[in-house]
Structure 1
Amino acid sequence: MGDYYIGVDVGTASVRACVVDVSGKILSVAVKGITVWNPRPDHYQQSSEEIWSAVVYTVRAVISEAKVKPERIVGIGFDATCSLVVLGDRFQPVTVSLDGEESQNIIMWMDHRAQKEADVITATRHSVLKSVGGIMSLEMQPPKLKWLKQNIPSTWQRAAHLFDLPDFLTWRATGSLSRSLCSLVCKWGFQADSDGRLCWDDDFLALIDLGDLTENNHSKLGNLQQDVGSPCGSGLSNQAAEELGLIPGTPVGTSMIDAHAGALACVGCTPVASSHKETLADLDNRIVIIAGTSTCHIICTRTSVSVPGVWGPYYSAMVPGMWVNEGGQSVAGRLIDFVTSSHPAFSETKTKAVDRGLHEYEYLNDHLQQMAVRNHFQTVAHLTHGFHVWPDFHGNRSPVADASLRGMICGLSLSATEDDLALLYLATIQALAYGTRHIIAEMEKSGHMISTVYLCGGLRNNRLYVQTHADVLGLPVVLPEVDQSVLLGAAMLGAFASGKFDSLQSVMLAMGGQGSVVDPDAAVSSFHEKKFQVFLEMLGDQQKYRNMMKDVLRS
């Protein structure tokens, strides 16, 4: 009998849990949906109580399915989206809703209500901004906190504990008020570096009118910071253990943001193809794309690299003692879902896919192959030679770092057939790949050298998405054999906290597994080069149009 670990991942729309053995093999997975409230444009809210109930449900379910005795579970780890949780002095939910729904106490990562506040913070040009590419994103916590203070003063007065969602989960599991460096340095403006600096910047907080958060040794923000995976408190509290069906004191690893957990699992994966074999010594040259509702692009390096418009460099956010840069696209899977489901031909296409026992995207992938043959094109990619998409329907996270950018489509006609839907679907996937290339180009311009791409998340299962990224980037794409990398990363935190490993890198090597390699097709490199140039022109055009219209509402 061996040891086992539990990983819990709180995503945008669901909570997932798994049981993992010491080799990284996932024995069982359970999923439970959670509510996303969207009461006003750009306002996205959740409930911490509902999320914890879903955690309890999924953990009990995976233990039962795996048929593992609770005493064999020797570590548990949590990851979650970087959403803001507000609790009162008795740890009760405090509303973040303008409509007063008390249970809705989470402002989600994708909430865009705080654009004005983000712009004000960026305008300070404070040195804290150096660690976020020079621009404060409205998806981070300082703008959301500033918005709360200005717009719901009653909530601000009652708020006693302000958590990033991953840290809320470890508090709920252990009672410890410690915070993860991953969340703090990536989303809260906390300062950490290789010279030993580890602190809140009180001047910055005062400058952005959040100086009251420095009171009582920053108690609302957290005054105990820990490396990812380090043991949290004294392990599971009696109450949490009873709820989860586990043993009190079971070690709990300090949490991570969900994308970083996926990256942690991916970079420990060994490519199967001998020509692409790497070790953890090559970590600096790997970028991980965590592709789901949104997409994150994470690279972990031994040295600090600043990239304009790209988040970071963050110290000890993923692997203790190393630096992280993080690019991203605010929508990816959600964008593909939106453009396809809103097309007039989607309903008929979905019916045909169901009849053939296929997911609608598998059906569209096959349909595109038939279109390429029918039109005598060398590859599917060439079908979009006259059709172009700019993908920032929900703003640009990086490298432009402009949340006000919007989507563009060039090449529309009066036709709305299944062929037109397939072209829109293909062009959207290509646009997301060009967005990734744009991010990587800026990273390399600043000094990164990237030789391999690792890809995880829900979109890793879409063969067209994967191959398109390999082709557009001109780089091999590694797909870990474990298709639940984010969950595995969470379980790795529990494994490290258990004390069975001497370092987080040891956990990554022991549990990372292997991965298959998808190589780029050189036959489409020149085509994608031209399309990428069109992509950049579309950005310039949108900026030009906006500049032309900027004064029209003032006249």
Structure 2
Amino acid sequence: MTQTDGLYLGVDVGTGSARAGLFDTEGKMVGMGVREIRSWRPQADFVEQSSADIWDGCCAAVAAAVAAAGARPGQVRGVGFDATCSLVAVDDDHRPVSVSPDGRDDQNVIVWMDHRAIDQAERINATGHEVLKYVGGTISPEMEAPKLLWLRERLPESWIRARRFYDLPDFLTYRATCDETRSLCSTVCKWTYQGHEEPSAEGSLGRWDDSFWRQIGLGELVDEGYRRIGTRVRPMGEPLGQGLSELSARELGLRAGTAVGVSIIDAHAGGVGLLGAGLDADPGQAAEQLRHRLALIGGTSSCYMAASPGPTFVPGVWGPYFSAMIPGMWLSEGGQSATGSLIDHVVFGHQAAAELGQQAQRQAKTIYQLLNERLAVLAADEPFAAKLTEQLHVLPYFHGNRSPRADPTLRGMVSGLKLSGTVDDLAVLYLATIQAIAHGTRHIIAALNAQGFDIDTLYLCGGGTKNPVFLREHADATGCQLVLPQEPEAVLLGAAILGAAASGDFGSVTEAMGALSAAGQSIAPAGGDTARYHQAKHRVFQRMHADQLAYGELMTHPNR
């Protein structure tokens, strides 16, 4: 078989579904499959899943993608996995161990967005440990160390029974290959692993920091030689073990021994699928290009990826992480914890949602298409569409702020509501919510640029890229040019690039990025009056945060 016969498979596990995509040697998708996965919410801020259900979803999605492509199992030359940075607990035999107050073992995954460990995160941050400077100075309850501490303190029986803890992407590659190697991406970004340090274990890159785990109260992980959280850490896309095991090959409908690459976090897969477009082959020129680029990977939440040749410390922005996305480069990672989920919350929680849903069903359209159409009608008498929200403002911190404020206790705000709940009111509120998210993006860009980046171009993928209002408001609010990928499913492509690198068809992940990813449509910001309007909106955005802090101070000290 020649390389031109081959296909590369990317498997992506997001918050709500498992997806699989098959790509040819030019980066074109030839088949895709999707399977929903289940979540449980036993308490407020608790979100749980099942590793068995997730793996079943992966198998179903792969079968659908292979069928859609009309491909033969032997054509798949390499497989790459990405997933959310969720915590998986299993016993010595890799059977699930409960992470839930419900006590059900099938609920053995703490989902990335779960905020049960806020208290543990605050106590970890109070230590001021040196490793915290590599997570923007403040560890998030969405990271794994606070969740592990929560399990030890709140579910001690599960803590004792659990003999392996995985980041979900690494669990998937273990399940596929029976190889326990952990990814430099997930361990560095979510577990405080020091990937830039000299190795402390043969066959690994980087090292764990013993003093950190002892100081936060998890010294037993050190005493056990880190057996529970990973003793071998390798870069993304490196081939694992003997490839697909006999069992997983049967379950996936593929060939045993097919190359599997070390995994990556889902958002970072999007960065791999996006940022390689048009990169110069000269490393120095490529580094200069990347200084101006920011990858925005949207979905339930949004992640923002910027790469630099050296470490760039940005307060409130996670990282810098060495070699966690592009090999040999440092990653700075910003984020908004609720974006797609916030838009859904605002729209479907509104009293006009039912009426709009009925209209959408009658017209065979989505609610969002109808909202965009209604906005176009309402904006007909305005100098530009954004001006519809002149008296309506949203602060998008409904699930706290990840970057750059790094404060999970912040809350969402809306200013300018009327005693009215029509479809038109919903349309304007929907627009104001999108603008709020865009101004959150602008805030992250400003934090990065203040520390040496010069971001002027956003490379986007995810659900929002299918929404012209989302794209327009992001271009206009940030003042950046937007670039969409030629292949819309950039996250799946990023995962497939890891499979391509593992297959040996390319000399490196970077080489595979250059060969398989390409830029598509670009969108320029409006400038002029629209830019001045968004300058004012951004001042309101900043003022709403200051006002929220002032309200808290008044309530804490009512007699001051």
Shift of 1:102: 1.0
Identify the residue that residue 320 of structure 2 maps to in structure 1. 313
Identify the residue that residue 275 of structure 1 maps to in structure 2. none
Point out 4+ residue stretches in structure 1 off by more than 6 angstroms.
Answer: 194-197
1:261 aligns with 2:264: no
1:543 aligns with 2:549: yes
1:229 aligns with 2:232: no
Between the aligned partners of 1:139 and 1:483, the Cα distance in structure 2 is 27
Shift of 1:550: 2.3
Between the aligned partners of 2:260 and 2:294, the Cα distance in structure 1 is 28
1:205 aligns with 2:201: no
**Aligned runs of 1:107-186 on 2, under 5 Å?**
107-186=110-189
Between the aligned partners of 1:340 and 1:270, the Cα distance in structure 2 is 38
**One of 527, 534, 537 as aligned partner of 1:528:** 534
Between the aligned partners of 2:422 and 2:520, the Cα distance in structure 1 is 38
**One of 40, 46, 49 as aligned partner of 1:46:** 49
Note if contact 2:198-2:206 (Cα within 8 Å) is conserved in structure 1: no
Shift of 1:195: 6.5
Note if contact 1:23-1:513 (Cα within 8 Å) is conserved in structure 2: no
Number of residue pairs matched? Answer: 546
The C-alpha deviation readout for 1:328-353, integer Å capped at 9, x for no partner, is: 00000000000011111111122223
**One of 335, 338, 342 as aligned partner of 2:342:** 335
Note if contact 2:197-2:206 (Cα within 8 Å) is conserved in structure 1: no
Q: Which amino acid in 1 is paired with 2:424?
A: D
Q: Which amino acid in 1 is paired with 2:307?
A: C
Change over 3 Å in CA distance of 1:120–1:261 after alignment to 2: same
**One of 282, 294, 314 as aligned partner of 1:287:** 294
**Aligned runs of 1:22-37 on 2, under 5 Å?**
22-37=25-40
Identify the residue that residue 495 of structure 1 maps to in structure 2. 500
Structure 1, unmatched stretches of 5+, are: 272-277
Identify the residue that residue 195 of structure 2 maps to in structure 1. 192
SS at match of 2:305: strand
SS at match of 1:218: coil
Shift of 1:281: 5.5
Between the aligned partners of 2:450 and 2:291, the Cα distance in structure 1 is 15
Q: Which amino acid in 1 is paired with 2:374?
A: H
SS at match of 1:334: helix
Between the aligned partners of 2:534 and 2:518, the Cα distance in structure 1 is 32
The C-alpha deviation readout for 1:340-379, integer Å capped at 9, x for no partner, is: 1111111112222333332211211111111011xx2111
Q: Which amino acid in 2 is paired with 1:473?
A: T
Identify the residue that residue 383 of structure 2 maps to in structure 1. 378
Note if contact 2:479-2:531 (Cα within 8 Å) is conserved in structure 1: yes
Q: Which amino acid in 2 is paired with 1:504?
A: V
Identify the residue that residue 348 of structure 1 maps to in structure 2. 355
Identify the residue that residue 434 of structure 1 maps to in structure 2. 439
Identify the residue that residue 449 of structure 2 maps to in structure 1. 444
The C-alpha deviation readout for 1:172-216, integer Å capped at 9, x for no partner, is: 000001000000000001112177771100100000001101133
Note if contact 2:486-2:517 (Cα within 8 Å) is conserved in structure 1: no
Shift of 1:245: 1.3
SS at match of 2:214: helix
Between the aligned partners of 1:496 and 1:284, the Cα distance in structure 2 is 25
Identity of aligned residues (%): 47
Note if contact 1:289-1:455 (Cα within 8 Å) is conserved in structure 2: yes
Shift of 1:408: 0.3
Between the aligned partners of 1:474 and 1:434, the Cα distance in structure 2 is 11
**Aligned runs of 1:375-454 on 2, under 5 Å?**
376-454=381-459
Identify the residue that residue 202 of structure 2 maps to in structure 1. none
Shift of 1:282: 1.1
Between the aligned partners of 1:320 and 1:56, the Cα distance in structure 2 is 29
Identify the residue that residue 97 of structure 2 maps to in structure 1. 94
The C-alpha deviation readout for 1:490-546, integer Å capped at 9, x for no partner, is: 100000000110121110111002311011011300000000000000000001111
The C-alpha deviation readout for 1:410-441, integer Å capped at 9, x for no partner, is: 00110111111011000000000001111111
1:81 aligns with 2:87: no
Note if contact 1:270-1:515 (Cα within 8 Å) is conserved in structure 2: no
TM-score w.r.t. length of structure 2 = 0.95
1:481 aligns with 2:486: yes
TM-score w.r.t. length of structure 1 = 0.96
Deviates more, 1:304-313 or 1:479-488: 479-488
Between the aligned partners of 2:223 and 2:33, the Cα distance in structure 1 is 41
Note if contact 1:269-1:515 (Cα within 8 Å) is conserved in structure 2: no
The C-alpha deviation readout for 1:72-95, integer Å capped at 9, x for no partner, is: 111000000000000001110000
Structure 2, unmatched stretches of 5+, are: 200-204, 280-284
Identify the residue that residue 307 of structure 2 maps to in structure 1. 300
Shift of 1:475: 1.0
Between the aligned partners of 2:137 and 2:229, the Cα distance in structure 1 is 23
Deviates more, 1:59-68 or 1:424-433: 59-68
Between the aligned partners of 1:194 and 1:504, the Cα distance in structure 2 is 22
Between the aligned partners of 1:9 and 1:74, the Cα distance in structure 2 is 17
RMSD (CA atoms): 1.6
1:456 aligns with 2:464: no
Note if contact 1:479-1:516 (Cα within 8 Å) is conserved in structure 2: yes
Q: Which amino acid in 2 is paired with 1:218?
A: Y
Q: Which amino acid in 1 is paired with 2:480?
A: L
Between the aligned partners of 2:520 and 2:556, the Cα distance in structure 1 is 49
Change over 3 Å in CA distance of 1:540–1:407 after alignment to 2: same
Note if contact 2:287-2:309 (Cα within 8 Å) is conserved in structure 1: no
Between the aligned partners of 2:87 and 2:477, the Cα distance in structure 1 is 35
Deviates more, 1:164-173 or 1:295-304: 295-304
